[in-house]
Amino acid sequence: MMTVARRRSLLVFMFAAVCAAASAAEEPRQLLERMNQALTGRNYVGTFVHFSSGHASMMRILHRVENGSVTERLVSLDGSGREIVGTSTELTCYLPDQRKVLVEPRKDQGPLLGTLPSFRPELLEFYTVEAHGAGRVLGHDNTQLVSVMPKDAYRFGYRLWLDEDTAMPLKTQLCDADGRVIEQIMFTELVWPAHIPNSEFKPQLSTEGFTWVRAQSPQHLDVNAPESLLGRAIKLPPGFRLSASSSQALEDSDRPVAHLVFSDGLASVSVFIDSNDRGLQRGHSSFGSSAAFSTAVDGRQVTAVGEVPPRTVEFIAGSVQQARHAAGAASHP
């Protein structure tokens, strides 16, 4: 029989252990918050190597915050010579190899380098956030490795090597649930200039003779639109919820395509329901680290796309079919 004193000691010990665990869990999350602030709120110019899909590519990123306005430029330093220039209102992609310029309205103010969302408690149900101590990357001795690893195989995780002083991610790996590296980005040069002149954000190519393609802003889907109803009926992997829905004209579509977005707060999957008659396809595709799965549902092309494992996009696209059949004529437009 345990005595009262022993019970108290045990409770005190357990409380201390819980506090210690909570404190340990706070630290990496604070680091990630600092990383977000650094990526969005300061000037930086860097060169990084991007390993993805069998390619090693060199990219240069410029990010400037001036008078509350953000300007960015991402340049491919080899091969295609493609560039992306972002302002607070527009994103412009220069594709010299295709002699084309794509311009689209910018719907968010997130940096091209991306940030991690704030870690809500429910997110920790599906991811483990841990700090793994200091290391040395790009000449920075005080680099903290933080991992955000998924607890199941429906989503990918990240390993981020953050400079402790500036919280900039000097090296990032995209990993699956077993820790296997899918993609890696490593800065080879990173500076924080106080001022970056406008001339640095001008593309270094002539666009004479290029075709300019200007995308329209997506329209919000009516909550009672068949696709919206469908989005709410789809069975999803644990933690995923419908987070946005719109209707938009894509570059190669005659009619608007319904676009539903499902997210667990970190990973996201888009489902496109396309009624354009261009031949229905079924199967897996990929684009960089994004997986896609297409299927045909009642004469429509349904494609799920996201930076998630292939099984997740297949699961979600397959669920559209089930939900569609379950809803029957009620949801038929």
Partner 1 sequence: MSEPLNEQLSAFIDGELPNEESALFVRQIPRDAQLRAAASRYYLIGQAVRAEQPSVRRGFAARVLAAVAQEPGASGAAAAVSAMARELPRSRWFGLWKPAAGIAVAAGVAMVAILFFQQRQGEREPPEVIAYIVPNGTPYNVHLRSDKAAEPTQVIGGTSGEPRSYTVPPLAPATETPLGAARLASYVLAHSEYSSLPGRRNVVSDAAVQDIEATQVEAAQAEAPKP
Residues 164-183 that bind partner 1 (CB under 8 A): 169, 171-172, 174, 176, 178-183
Q: Are strands 100-105 and 211-214 parallel, antiparallel or unpaired?
A: parallel
Buried b / exposed e along 32-67 (16+ C-beta atoms within 10 A): bebbbebbeebbbbbbbebeeeeeebebebbbbbee
- Give the nearest distance from C-beta 224 to partner 1 in angstroms: 22
Contact call for residue 275 and partner 1 (CB under 8 A): no
Query: Does 291 engage in binding with partner 1 (CB under 8 A)?
Result: yes
CB of 293 to partner 1, least distance (A): 8
User: Closest CB to partner 1 among 51 and 201?
Assistant: 51
| Window contacting partner 1 (CB under 8 A); options: 15-23, 78-86, 122-130, 324-332 | 78-86
Judged by CB under 8 A, the residue of 44, 119, 127, 293 near partner 1 is: 293
Answer yes or no whether residue 317 interacts with partner 1 by CB under 8 A: no
Residue 85 engages partner 1 in binding (rule: CB under 8 A): no
Does residue 71 bind partner 1 (CB under 8 A)? no
Query: Degrees (nearest 5) of the Cα angle 279, 282, 288?
Result: 105
Ordered DSSP codes for 202-270: S-SS--TTPEEEEPPPPEEPPTTSHHHHHHHH---STT-EEEEEEEE--TT-SS-EEEEEEESSSSEEE
Q: Mapping DSSP to helix (H, G, I), strand (E, B) and coil, where does residue 276 land?
A: coil
Spatial CA neighbour of 303 closest among 326, 328, 323, 286: 286
Size of the site for partner 1 (CB under 8 A): 99
Determine the Cα–Cα distance for residues 235 and 232; give it in Å rounded to an integer.
8
Q: Which of residues 225-254 bind partner 1 (CB under 8 A)?
A: 243-244, 248, 250-253
Q: How far apart are the C-alpha atoms of 157 and 289, rounded to whole Å?
A: 12
40 touches partner 1 (CB under 8 A): no
- Return phi, psi of residue 41, to 5°: -105, 0
255, 286, 322, 325: which one binds partner 1 (CB under 8 A): 286
Quote the CA–CA distance of 256 and 248 in Å, as a whole number: 5
Question: Coil, strand, or helix at residue 185?
Answer: strand
Q: For the CB of residue 68, give the shortest distance to partner 1 in the complex, in Å.
A: 21
| Distance (Å, whole) CA 139 – CA 141 | 6
**Rounded CA separation 64/196 (Å):** 7
208 touches partner 1 (CB under 8 A): no
Task: Name residues contacting partner 1, limited to 101-160 (CB under 8 A).
Answer: 102, 104, 107-108, 110, 112-117, 137-139, 156, 158, 160
Whole-number minimum distance, CB 92 to partner 1, in Å?
12
Using CB under 8 A as the binding rule, whether residue 41 contacts partner 1 is answered as no
User: Please, is 275 exposed, middle or buried when counting C-beta atoms within 10 Å of its C-beta (0-12, 13-18, 19+)?
Assistant: middle
User: Would you count residue 297 as binding partner 1 (CB under 8 A)?
Assistant: no
Shortest CB 269 distance to partner 1, Å: 8
Q: Does 205 bind partner 1 (CB under 8 A)?
A: no
**Closer of 207 and 290 to partner 1 (Cβ):** 290
Of residues 51-70, those binding partner 1 (CB under 8 A): 51-59
Q: Considering the complex, what minimum distance in angstroms separates the CB of residue 17 from partner 1? A: 31
Indicate whether 316 belongs to the interface with partner 1 (CB under 8 A): no
| Nearest alpha carbon to residue 275 among 302, 313, 305 | 302
